[in-house]
A and B are shown apart, each in its own frame.
Chain A
């Protein structure tokens, strides 16, 4: 057994010890995970974004336009100084404004047109009719410009039925994905670490 497997197994057991109750072993693993994760993201973000998109263009290619995001990025640190903290709003405004501008056509294409197109299939099959009915009734539930009475109320109620099916299915799927991870960890402990199963 190599050192990596041994350490991974010990840390896995530390975390599973939480199933008994909160204890120092779990806390150790928890804090270590937080520290390592932050360190990992710092290194990866700087090496894959800041260096190739800011440092190299400015210092190697002399592209001074790239100084703009550098300065705006620096403004973010001014949040620690109350008198200058407002400057960080400019950087936030750029991210939020540009993000909003990008998201409008993207949402239109991916969330609205693509989903509508997929729902308008051939109505020869019963499943396609159910899909169309579910999409329309679900949407009607989110129509708040009129009181949910009469036809709209009935449609909204049917929509709630389909949404409950969706929430139940999503819950079941989430449980199963966590169970899959649990099986993976058990396989690791019993196989790679203890060698009981192959």
Chain B
């Protein structure tokens, strides 16, 4: 029963959501919209489970005063501040909640991602070696795209920006299409396996 009920639920909802695409009926459309809303609600609860787990983990480290527990306190303070501001002061424009979002979260997030510029460049320098024809193609395409997007590229050769645009719009885009079609076919096959109950890894063990 612990495994059968979820498999039946998966099958029923999978078939229903698939069937409504082919059968146009107001009742089915309403049901489809309801199920989409249900998915969103359950997804939020799943997110809250993650948040609770985050809370337990940090509280545990603080209570045991493990190494560098002060940082765990900082994480919890950030969480508590946002939850307090969001629920008690509102999330409307000019609210303290959005002020924290704009002046703390957004700058920190974009700085974190900008740090990757250094690490990607460093990893590329260490990892990219023109060992064979394929790696040469990869290297040349990458360098051309990088140079084609900065004034230096045009200074080196007037054709570099043009070549970069051509690579992006023709061969790269075509290969992307081939990969997307492959992903689409793979996703459909996996979805069908999930609906009919062949693929059960989401159930976990036990």
Interface residue ranges, A against B (CB under 8 Å):
3-5, 7-9, 11-12, 15-16, 18-19, 27-47, 49-50, 53-54, 65, 68-70, 72-74, 76-77, 79-80, 85-86, 89-105, 107-108, 110-112, 115-116, 118-119, 127, 130-139, 141-142, 159-176, 178-179, 181-182, 184-185, 188
- Contacting A139 at CB < 8 Å: which of B15, B137, B145, B182? B182
A141 CB to nearest B CB, Å:
8
A185 to B110, CA, bound (A): 8
Q: For chain B residues 64-95, which have a beta carbon within 8 Å of chain A?
A: 68, 71-72, 74-83, 85-87, 91
A127 to B170, alpha carbons, bound, how many Å? 6
Chain B residues positioned under 8 Å from A100 (CB to CB):
10, 14, 17, 190-192, 194-195
Task: Supply 29 A–B pairs (Cβ within 8 Å), ascending by A.
Answer: A15-B112, A19-B115, A27-B68, A30-B71, A33-B108, A33-B109, A34-B75, A36-B100, A38-B78, A39-B80, A39-B81, A42-B51, A93-B9, A93-B202, A96-B10, A101-B15, A101-B16, A134-B170, A161-B133, A164-B141, A168-B145, A169-B168, A171-B138, A171-B142, A171-B145, A172-B142, A174-B120, A178-B113, A185-B111
B contact face: mostly helix, strand, loop, or mixed: helix
A91-B45, A94-B42 are contacts. A166–B175 as well, Cβ < 8 Å?
yes
Chain B residue nearest to A65 in the complex (CB)? B34
Contact status A101-B111, CB under 8 Å: no
- Report the separation of the CA atoms of residues A9 and B119 in the bound assembly, to the nearest whole angstrom: 22
On whether A182 and B114 interact (CB within 8 A), knowing A32-B108, A90-B5, the answer reads yes
Contact B40 A49, beta carbon cutoff 8 Å:
yes
Alpha-carbon distance between A111 and B204 when the two chains are bound, in angstroms? 29
- The smallest C-beta distance from B62 to any residue of chain A, in angstroms, reads 12
- B157 interface residue (CB < 8 Å to A): no
CA–CA, A76 and B185, complex, Å: 31
Shortest Cβ gap from B141 to chain A (Å): 3
Known: A39-B81, A138-B179. A165 touches B141 (CB 8 A): yes
The answer to whether residues A37 and B105 also contact, given A76-B46, A104-B18, A168-B140 and a CB cut-off of 8 A, is yes
Contacts of A39 in B (CB 8 A): 78-83, 86
B49 within 8 A of A: yes
* A96-B10, A168-B141 given; A162·B175 CB < 8 A: yes
Report B73 CB to chain A, min CB distance, Å. 9
A91 to B47, CA, bound (A): 13
**Chain B: interface residue total (CB-CB under 8 A):** 122
Q: How distant is the Cα of A85 from the Cα of B43 in the complex, in angstroms?
A: 17
B95 to chain A, nearest CB (A): 11
**Is B10's CB under 8 angstroms from A169's CB?**
no
| A166 pairs with B51, CB closer than 8 A | no
Residue contact A179 to B117, C-beta cutoff 8 Å? yes
* Residue in contact with B71 in the complex, picked from A27, A138, A169, A178, CB distance below 8 Å: A27
Could you say which of A29, A32, A74, A136 contacts B45, with CB atoms under 8 Å apart?
Answer: A74
